[in-house]
């Protein structure tokens, strides 16, 4: 990858670098001698403020050699490392390469550990304190941004610590969700439901499904409209994990609680997406992470009933 | 004056006090151009004994017993003083310091700097002359050199002769001993960062880590080079402190001074002669003050930037004055003021306590007291409260508002500690997650804390709250501020 529009600028910059270094050497040679020293009293003959005189105490010669060594060093450095225009140096060092090498080294160090966990069943990994400490760190760095540090989610981001799973809560499904991500769509249903009044009635009916406070008259009116919803949410409104449709009969309101929130959902619909993590995490990491997430709702590695 | 004159010092009568005499003539070429660089002339300091020399040796013993001995002390199950860089823990006897305690390093540096200001204002380059590692190791190396090769005159004579078996043996013995001391110094230095006993075992088994190898040999080599070869050049050309210490001198600073009025006109004389009749001063021009000087200057020319204030010339001159039967103190610690005003010693010392010194002392005392107090009151644990990265606030069942925090709790002791977290600042605010945790010795743990607020208690916006963390075992409280967000 070239940083320059043409080769000229690379040569131009490299030229300035070389010329500057050579100029330093010349400066050292040319200023190493001086003329017109009055040597009688070891001063240079310069006087300031009437009585302040500059002494002529020569530096030790090794001091000048140190300067020469730095110049030699700079040429060796420029030959080995990037520094002259776009020339990459003999060693082929790059910061990206160094980072990659360190990442690889780190991965190689923890590989046996991950290999041990990969060979275990997720239910057993969830019982392993060391694996759970790793899982927690992976979660904090990759999942907590949306699902929260306590994994209890937020509006639009599911709670991972309860037993309500939109797509299923087995370790295999969790692993697949982390790897490939999930997309769930609720289409806008207002046209299929009917008037704005119908939508409000339907919302009251949905509230009634979970026994939340609602207007029973409106809910009764909205009940027949629910047929439109039943295709995905089921006749009983318990949702369908194959489709990823939400259970409407519990007290979990992923996209907001109350008539207004339900009405907005029916009218506008929603596309909710969990991004795929396959390119960020290795398979072994996903395995540990899925075990950790599974363990959040299945305490101590024992599956919840 | 040529360079050989160091050997048999020629008398050059001082005509005019300000007349500078070059330490060596600049090497002039035929074209009248002078080189600004000159090859280094080795200085052969003569050994000296006396009051100031004893002080210096006292400091050598004190500093080096501490330096070489400290890493071998044990404290419970660990090395008493260990700077564990890998796990970022500094162990100093009963104290464990963390990166968060960086302020104490600042404190130590400020105290060191102020001490330097204070000592320098009182008596010039005391640090340089008595306690600086450069001086201390040079002193040790000079002692080895003297034991093996003899004192100044013997060394000069041998170095002027062609190589012989005897000279080769002496030189190689000296360098072997130097290298041994230097290596042990490097080894000890690394012992502050790697447990020294393990380091010793690794050394014997040739299984040292690459950094241990590097630092042992680098520090050893630096000791060998600086104390064996560079010596006064470090002070003259490299040291930054030497450059600015003269700025802290004033008219009442005690500096090693030659009493010109008493000493001049100098000249050799018999011990029985009365100097007044010969029209001579007290200086017998024996040149010993020049021979003992580690920087190769002549103190009789007044204060010079090379002078490190070691007092060797004062010691040797007092010895000569005793032999001559004259009063001591021709070369002594005194001040510019005292020389001008002809004060007695007690008058001079009375001027030590001037405003500048009192101010330095007051600031220094304040910082030392503050640092000691702060260390004494240091909490045995540390807490950081971080609001959750993802969730601002959420509404949970029954309309309660929930905020999530992550608390990092660091155990600063060497025993496990249990902690309990409570929250205050808003009516009805409470921690609803697990609020107890155990942190193992000298470790840090994260705790996710959920707090809930009943609805309608606080208006939308940000509200200051406080987390109270209690160490159950130690009965120590700590409070950390944070904010609770109520959504619109």
Q: Which of 113-152 (A) contact B at CB < 8 A? A: 136, 140, 144-150, 152
Name the minimum distance, in Å, from the CA of B46 to any CA of chain A: 23
Peptide bond into B265 cis (omega under 30): yes
Contact state of B394 with A152 under an 8 Å Cβ cutoff: yes
* Chain B residues 438-457 with a CB less than 8 Å from chain A: 446, 448, 450
Whether residues A174 and A282 fall in one domain: yes
CB B232: neighbour CB atoms within 10 A? 20
Region B293-307 average pLDDT:
92
A:B CB pairs within 8 Å: 100
* Identity of the residue in A36, A154, A251 whose CB atom sits nearest the CB atom of B390: A154
- Consult the annotation and say whether A229 binds a ligand: yes
A37 known ligand binder: no
Contact between residue B450 and residue B433 where contact means Cβ atoms under 8 Å apart: yes
Residue A232 annotated as part of some ligand binding site: yes
Establish how many alpha carbons lie within 13 A of residue A142's alpha carbon, considering only the half-sphere containing its beta carbon: 25
A76 and A133 in a single domain? The answer is no
pLDDT in tens, B384-407: 999 987 778 888 877 789 999 999
By CA distance, what is B407's nearest residue in A? A149
For the stretch B166-204, pLDDT in tens is: 999 999 999 999 999 999 999 999 999 999 999 999 999
Give the gyration radius of chain B's Cα atoms.
32
- Residues of A in Cβ contact (< 8 Å) with B445: none
Is the pLDDT at B246 greater than 90? The verdict is no
Q: Is the pTM of this model over 0.85?
A: no
Same domain, A16 and A143: no
| A91 domain-assigned | no
| Residue A50 forms contact with B (CB below 8 Å) | no
- For A63, counting Cβ atoms within 10 Å of its Cβ (0-12 exposed, 13-18 middle, 19+ buried), the class is middle
From B154's Cα to the closest Cα of chain A, the distance in A is 26
Conformational region of residue A300, where left means phi above 0, alpha means psi within -120 to 50, and beta covers everything else:
left
Same domain, residue pair A132 and A157? yes
Mean pLDDT of B129-144: 96
Q: In which domain, by residue range, is A158 found?
A: 125-181+275-298
Q: What is the pLDDT of residue A300?
A: 66
- CA A36, chain centre distance (Å): 67
Q: Is A39 on the interface with B (CB under 8 A)?
A: yes
Longest dimension (CA), chain A: 117
Query: Any binding-site annotation on A120?
Result: no
Window 233-252 of B, Cβ < 8 Å to A = 233, 237
B13: distance to nearest CA of chain A, Å?
A: 15
Residue B16 pLDDT: 38
Domain boundaries, chain B: 43-378, 381-486
Beta-carbon contacts of B69 under 8 Å, excluding residues fewer than 6 positions away, are none
The pair of structure tokens assigned to A277 is: 């993590």
Over residues B223-242, the mean pLDDT reads: 93
Q: Is B20 on the interface with A (CB under 8 A)?
A: yes
Whether the per-residue pLDDT at B6 is higher than 90: the answer is no
CA distance B275 to chain A (A): 30
- CB-based contact A42 B20, cutoff 8 Å: yes
Cβ neighbors of A192 (< 8 A, separation 6 or more) are A228
More confident residue, B29 or A285: A285
Residue A116 domain-assigned (yes or no)? no
Say whether both A45 and A62 belong to one domain.
Answer: yes
* Nearest chain B CA: its distance from A278 CA (Å): 21
A39 pLDDT above the threshold of 70: no
CB-based contact A150 B23, cutoff 8 Å = no
Q: Does A3 touch chain B (CB under 8 A)?
A: no
Architecture (CATH level 2) of domain B381-486: Sandwich (2.60)
Q: Does A275 touch chain B (CB under 8 A)?
A: no
Q: How far is A36 from chain B (nearest CA, A)?
A: 7
Say if residue A286's pLDDT is above 90.
Answer: yes
A61:B37 CB<8 A:
yes
Measured between beta carbons, the chain B residues lying within 8 angstroms of A132 are none
The backbone torsions φ and ψ at residue B384, rounded to the nearest 5 degrees and listed phi first, read -125, 135
**Residue B311, pLDDT score:** 94
Comparing alpha-carbon positions, the chain A residue that sits nearest to B17 is: A41
Alpha helix stretches (DSSP H) within chain A? 7-30, 61-80, 95-118, 122-125, 129-142, 144-147, 171-180, 190-193, 196-209, 216-223, 227-233, 259-268, 283-297
Q: Which of A39, A43, A150, A252 to mutate to test the interface with B (most CBs of B within 10 A)?
A: A150
pLDDT at residue A36, as a whole number = 56
Say yes or no: A264 and A134 in one domain.
no
Same-domain status, A171 and A218? no
Among the partner residues A42, A55, A150, nearest to B404 by beta-carbon distance: A150
How confident is the prediction for chain A on average, in pLDDT? 89
- Compare all CA atoms of chain B with the CA of A153 and give the residue at the minimum distance: B391
* Contacting residues of B for A146, CB less than 8 Å apart: 390
Quick one: average pLDDT of B7-26?
A: 42
Do A42 and A175 sit in the same domain of this protein?
A: no
Out of B21, B37, B233, whose CB is closest to A58? B37
**How distant, in Å, are the alpha carbons of A149, A150, B107, B225, B448 from that of B437?**
17, 15, 33, 54, 10
Q: Quote the CA–CA distance of B27 and A223 in Å, as a whole number.
A: 110
Among A35, A39, A57, select the one facing B25 at the smallest CB separation: A39
Question: What is the reported pLDDT for A252?
Answer: 86
| Structural domain count of chain A | 3
pLDDT at B9: 42
Domain containing residue A245: CATH number = 1.10.760.10
Kindly state the average pLDDT of the residues B410-421.
90
A24 is in an annotated binding site: no
Say whether pLDDT at B5 is over 50: no
Q: Which residues contact B92 (CB under 8 A, 6 or more apart)?
A: B80, B81
pLDDT at B199: 92
**What mean pLDDT is predicted for residues A147-167?**
89
Could you read off the pLDDT of B342-355 as tens digits, one per residue? 998 888 888 889 99
Tens digit of each residue's pLDDT (9 = 90 or more) over A73-99 = 999 999 999 988 888 889 999 999 999
Asked whether residue A186 is marked as a ligand-binding residue, the answer is yes
Partner residue opposite B38 with nearest CB, options A34, A61, A251: A61
A43 touches chain B (CB under 8 A): yes
Please provide the average confidence, as pLDDT, over all residues in chain B. 89
A304 pLDDT exceeds 70? no
């Amino acid at each position: 990858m070239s940083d320059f529009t043409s080769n000229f600028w690379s040569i131009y910059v490299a030229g300035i670098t070389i010329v500057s270094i050579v100029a330093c050497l010349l400066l050292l040679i040319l200023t190493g001698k001086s003329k017109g020293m009055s040597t009688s009293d070891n001063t240079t003959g310069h006087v300031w403020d009437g009585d302040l005189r500059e002494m002529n105490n020569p530096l030790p010669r090794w001091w000048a050699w140190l300067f020469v060594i730095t110049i030699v060093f700079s040429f060796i450095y420029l030959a080995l490392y990037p520094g002259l225009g776009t020339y990459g140096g003999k060693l082929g060092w790059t910061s990206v390469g160094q980072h990659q090498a360190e990442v690889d080294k780190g991965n190689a160090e923890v590989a046996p550990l991950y290999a041990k966990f990969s060979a275990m069943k997720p239910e057993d990994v969830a019982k392993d304190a060391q694996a759970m400490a790793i899982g927690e760190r992976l979660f904090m760095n990759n999942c907590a941004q949306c699902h929260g540090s306590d994994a209890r989610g937020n509006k639009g981001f599911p709670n991972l610590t309860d037993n309500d799973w939109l797509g299923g809560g087995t370790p295999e499904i969790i692993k697949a969700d982390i790897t490939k991500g999930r997309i769930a769509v609720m289409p806008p249903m207002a046209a299929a439901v009917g008037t704005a009044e119908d939508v409000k009635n339907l919302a009251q009916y949905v509230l009634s499904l979970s026994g939340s406070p609602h207007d029973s008259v409106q809910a009764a009116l909205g009940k027949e409209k629910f047929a439109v919803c039943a295709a995905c949410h089921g006749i009983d409104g318990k949702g369908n994990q194959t489709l990823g449709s939400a259970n409407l009969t519990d007290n979990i309101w992923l996209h907001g609680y109350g008539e207004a929130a339900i009405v907005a959902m029916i009218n506008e619909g929603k596309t909710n997406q969990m991004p795929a993590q396959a390119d960020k995490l290795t398979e072994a990491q996903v395995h540990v992470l899925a075990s950790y997430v599974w363990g959040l709702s299945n305490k101590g590695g024992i599956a919840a009933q | 004056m040529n360079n050989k004159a160091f050997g048999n010092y020629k008398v050059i009568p001082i005509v005019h006090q300000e007349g500078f005499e070059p330490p060596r003539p600049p090497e002039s070429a035929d074209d009248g151009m002078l080189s600004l660089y000159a090859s280094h002339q080795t200085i052969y300091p003569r050994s000296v004994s006396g009051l100031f020399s004893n002080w210096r040796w006292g400091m050598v013993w004190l500093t080096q017993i501490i330096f070489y001995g400290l890493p071998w002390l044990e404290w419970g199950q660990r090395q008493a003083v260990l700077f564990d860089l890998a796990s970022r823990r500094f162990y100093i006897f009963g104290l464990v310091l963390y990166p968060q305690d960086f302020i104490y390093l600042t404190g130590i540096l400020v105290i060191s700097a102020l001490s330097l200001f204070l000592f320098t204002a009182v008596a010039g380059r005391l640090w340089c002359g008595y306690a600086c590692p450069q001086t201390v190791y040079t002193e040790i190396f000079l002692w080895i050199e003297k034991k093996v090769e003899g004192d100044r005159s013997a060394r000069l004579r041998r170095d002027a002769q062609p190589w012989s078996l005897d000279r080769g043996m002496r030189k190689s013995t000296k360098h072997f001993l130097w290298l041994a001391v230097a290596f042990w110094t490097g080894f000890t230095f690394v012992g502050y960062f790697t447990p020294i006993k393990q380091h010793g075992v690794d050394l014997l088994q040739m299984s040292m880590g690459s950094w241990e190898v590097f630092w042992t040999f680098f520090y050893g080599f630096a000791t060998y080079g600086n104390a064996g070869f560079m010596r006064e050049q470090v002070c003259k050309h490299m040291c930054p402190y030497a450059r600015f210490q003269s700025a802290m001198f004033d008219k009442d600073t005690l500096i090693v001074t030659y009493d010109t009025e008493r000493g001049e006109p100098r000249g050799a004389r018999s011990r029985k002669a009365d100097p007044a009749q010969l029209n001579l001063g007290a200086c017998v021009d024996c040149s010993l003050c020049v021979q003992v000087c580690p920087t190769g200057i002549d103190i009789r020319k007044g204060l010079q930037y090379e002078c490190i204030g070691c007092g060797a010339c004062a010691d040797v001159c007092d010895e000569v004055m005793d032999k001559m039967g004259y009063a001591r103190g021709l070369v002594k610690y005194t001040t510019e003021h005292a020389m001008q005003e002809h004060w007695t010693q007690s008058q001079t010392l009375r001027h030590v306590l001037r405003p500048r010194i009192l101010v330095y002392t007051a600031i220094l005392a304040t910082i030392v007291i503050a640092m000691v107090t702060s260390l004494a009151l240091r909490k045995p644990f540390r807490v950081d409260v971080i609001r959750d990265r993802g969730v601002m606030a959420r509404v949970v069942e029954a309309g309660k508002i929930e905020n999530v925090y992550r608390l990092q709790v660091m155990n600063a002791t060497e025993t496990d500690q249990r902690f309990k977290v409570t929250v205050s600042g808003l009516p009805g605010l409470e921690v609803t997650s697990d609020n107890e945790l155990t942190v193992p010795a000298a470790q840090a743990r994260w705790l996710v804390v959920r707090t809930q607020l009943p609805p309608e208690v606080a208006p939308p916006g940000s509200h200051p709250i406080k987390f109270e963390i209690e160490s159950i075992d130690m009965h120590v409280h700590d409070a950390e501020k944070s904010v609770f967000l109520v959504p619109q």
